[in-house]
Each structure stands twice: as C-alpha cells, then as structure tokens.
Amino acid sequence: MTVLDTRALGRATLARQLLLEPADIPVLDAVGHLCGLQAQEPQEPFVGLWSRLRAFDPAALSDLLTGRSVADRLGFPGSSWVVRGDVGWLARVGAAAGVGVPRV
C-alpha cells in the first residue's frame, strides 16, 4: 500500500475537487463529480464552476437549473446547494433528517 506524504495528499485532494487544473468536462458531470456545490449566495456555484472548468459557460448551468437537471436548493438553513437532479437518495436522507427536500 502506498502512503502519501502531506504534499501528495494535498495535491490529490485538490485534483479530486477539480482545483489542481481546469477540467474539460461538462457542467452536469462536474456537479456530479463534486457531489454538489454549496453556497450562501446564488452566484457562488457559477464562480465555483468557473474556477474548475476550462470552458465554463454560465448559460450551461442556468439551462440545467431551468431544465431541472440539477436541484438549486436543499433547505439546509443558510445554505444553497446545487446537486444533480438524479440524486433521489439525497432527498430521502434529507427528509429523514428533517432538513427539507430538494426543489427539483
């Protein structure tokens, strides 16, 4: 088994979060890969994806939100989340915890 030193672990974490270098993947795939994006302000998911994707087009995220391919809010107090619309398990977990259901 390979043991990562602190630098390698940090770089692996940045790569997993798509922060090491801009990724060439579609917006929906990026949201799924990241398991969602958390924000306190509505524009923050756009900034988060802009900093992660090489050719991010804000209209792509807007279209996914409008078409309900991603959920734009999960009822956690003070937080907004953008997650894939096909994560039904998340709605069940949230409802069981009493934190609300995604608006999809």
Beta partners for residue 70, in sequence order: 84
Q: Is the pLDDT of residue 83 over 50?
A: yes
Write the pLDDT tens digit of every residue in 13-67. 999 999 999 999 999 999 999 988 888 888 899 999 999 999 999 999 999 988 8
In terms of average pLDDT, the best of 12-16, 34-38, 94-98, 99-103 is 12-16
* In a domain? residue 3: no
* In a domain? residue 46: yes
* In a domain? residue 9: no
* In a domain? residue 12: no
> How many residues does the structure list for the chain?
104
* In a domain? residue 86: yes
Q: Which amino acid is at 44?
A: E
Q: Which amino acid is at 93?
A: V
d(Cα 37, Cα 18) in Å, to the nearest integer? Answer: 12
Range of the domain at 63: 22-97
pTM: 0.76
Q: Tell me how far apart the terminal alpha carbons of the chain are, to the nearest angstrom.
A: 42
d(Cα 15, Cα 18) in Å, to the nearest integer? Answer: 5
- Quote the number of domains for the chain: 1
* In a domain? residue 71: yes
* In a domain? residue 75: yes
